Amino acid sequence: MAVKPVPVTGSVLAWARADVGMSVRELADAVGVTPATIVQWESEEAHPSTGQFKRLSKVLGRPENFFFLTRPPKASPAVAAFRTKYGQGEWLAPDPKISQQLRLAQRVQTVSAWISRKLDDSRPAIPEAAIYYAPEKIAASLSSWMSWTLDIQISNSDARTSQVLRQRLQERGLTVLHLSFDDDTAVRGFSLPHPTAPLMAINTKEHYRARLFSYVHELAHLALHDDSLCFVRNDEGIERWCNEVAAAFLIPEHDFRCYVADKFGSQKISTLEQVSMLRGRYKASLLAVALRLEKLGLAVPGLYSSVSRSLEKRSKGGRPDPDRPQNRARIRLQTYGSHYVGSLLEAAESEILPETQVLDILKVSRSELADLRILSQSGAEG
């Protein structure tokens, strides 16, 4: 019996692929066909079979009848891709809180870019990357760019290591927001690429170890200039690549191989308990260690998936320091970071922005702005 083709509208298929931030090759791999086949479907030189069509609908997250529209939707694609919590394979549904945080980030980036132009603030660009580059190579490039060493990780507490990494990113011109998402959301972070004002946002509901991974994961997205258009699965394609970059950054191969051999000899790592014994040295999450073990051939097949099903419980990483009262000035500095706050303060001092406008942007009083200036200069970001 001849296979009956499904007459999808090619331009609609192309729009849906772009809307989830997938390349032709990524979609082809997900559906199980060649990239040339996807090109033929999008140009309507050929059409998918019923089975292929159902996989398209599932991978692209659209109802089947969507692909029979006569033309693509007029709605503009989303600005950024919100990536789900590492290890979960579900699509992330939008909610008002996430949209609110994205709008905040967009406003911050707009202001930051404007100030950067006015101050002629040029800093070293994030190293360039492409999805076909080896994660190990990019991790080494990013480590060198940030002057990051394993000694920084192993000689400090989880909290201090997280603070140092955030500061290194900001010293290189990145705005690093700390935002709080609802407990039931799966968002760990997102990034907004920009030529002069790259930005990332990290969920403060996550533990410091998870934040470390998120910082580097989002940095990898920025290195790709990745502005994926909508929601994407977190452990496929670009997401998997960024995960591998973050794991390689935090867990250097040579040191890790020696450490695993010292702990377990030549045996393949196979249990969650063994993974737990390894993570402390690197201030890394269970998933990061499991991913690294699999990538380096030090684990039994399927370890990462097994650990994914036993995800670490979220714990609040942003516990207030009893010696540092949480006033409005400190909260602003913790949320916006020293790079953005420092840019606003410099703009006010240079009379590029009226002080009244800086007060309005940060929603603080004059006395609180004075406190913020002192906190910013002291490096008490928290």
pLDDT tens-digit readout, 232-253: 345 567 888 888 999 999 999 9
Q: What is the pLDDT of residue 123?
A: 72
Q: What residues are paired with 202 via a beta bridge?
A: 178, 189
How far is the C-alpha of 152 from the C-alpha of 156, rounded, in Å? 6
Contacts of 333 (CB under 8 A, 6+ apart): 341, 372, 375, 376, 380, 381, 382
The fraction of the chain above a pLDDT of 70, given in percent, is 83
All structural domains of the chain with their residue ranges: 10-77, 79-319, 328-378
Q: What is the pLDDT of residue 365?
A: 92
pLDDT in tens, 121-169: 777 689 989 888 999 999 999 999 999 999 999 999 999 999 999 999 9
pTM (whole model) above 0.75: no
For residue 275, which amino acid is it?
V
- Residue 178 in this model has a pLDDT that exceeds 60: yes
> How sure is the predictor about 96, in pLDDT bands with cuts at 50, 70 and 90?
low
CA nearest neighbour of 38 among 61, 66, 17? 17
CA nearest neighbour of 223 among 202, 244, 198, 190? 198
pLDDT in tens, 308-322: 777 644 445 555 444
Q: What is the pLDDT of residue 57?
A: 86
Least confident of 60-64, 233-237, 347-351: 233-237
> How sure is the predictor about 70, in pLDDT bands with cuts at 50, 70 and 90?
confident
In order, the DSSP letters of 267-307 are: PPB-SHHHHHHHHGGGT--HHHHHHHHHHTT-B-TTHHHHH
Find out if CATH 1.10.1370.30 is the number for domain 10-77: no
Helices (H), 296-380: 303-308, 328-349, 355-362, 366-378
> How sure is the predictor about 92, in pLDDT bands with cuts at 50, 70 and 90?
very low
- Cβ-contact 231, 182 below 8 angstroms: no
Q: What residues are paired with 176 via a beta bridge?
A: 200
- Residue 77 in this model has a pLDDT that exceeds 60: no
How far is the C-alpha of 286 from the C-alpha of 304, rounded, in Å? 9
pLDDT in tens, 252-280: 999 999 999 999 999 999 999 999 999 88
Between 37 and 314, the higher pLDDT residue:
37
Q: What is the pLDDT of residue 188?
A: 81
Q: What is the pLDDT of residue 69?
A: 85
The fraction of the chain above a pLDDT of 90, given in percent, is 46
Least confident of 46-55, 74-83, 266-275: 74-83
> How sure is the predictor about 5, in pLDDT bands with cuts at 50, 70 and 90?
confident
For residue 356, which amino acid is it?
T
> How sure is the predictor about 1, in pLDDT bands with cuts at 50, 70 and 90?
low
> How sure is the predictor about 82, in pLDDT bands with cuts at 50, 70 and 90?
very low
Average pLDDT (177-189) is 76
The 3-class SS string of 161-223 reads: HHHHHHHHHHHCCCEEEEECCCCCCCEEEEEECCCCCCEEEEECCCCHHHHHHHHHHHHHHHH
Average pLDDT (29-57) is 90
- Residue 100 in this model has a pLDDT that exceeds 60: yes
- Residue 345 in this model has a pLDDT that exceeds 50: yes
CA nearest neighbour of 12 among 55, 58, 57, 50? 57
| Exposed / middle / buried, residue 108 (Cβ in 10 Å: 0-12, 13-18, 19+) | buried
> How sure is the predictor about 38, in pLDDT bands with cuts at 50, 70 and 90?
very high
Q: What is the pLDDT of residue 319?
A: 53
> How sure is the predictor about 87, in pLDDT bands with cuts at 50, 70 and 90?
very low
Between 60 and 79, the higher pLDDT residue:
60
| The 175-179 sheet, strands edge to edge | 83-84, 187-192, 199-203, 175-179
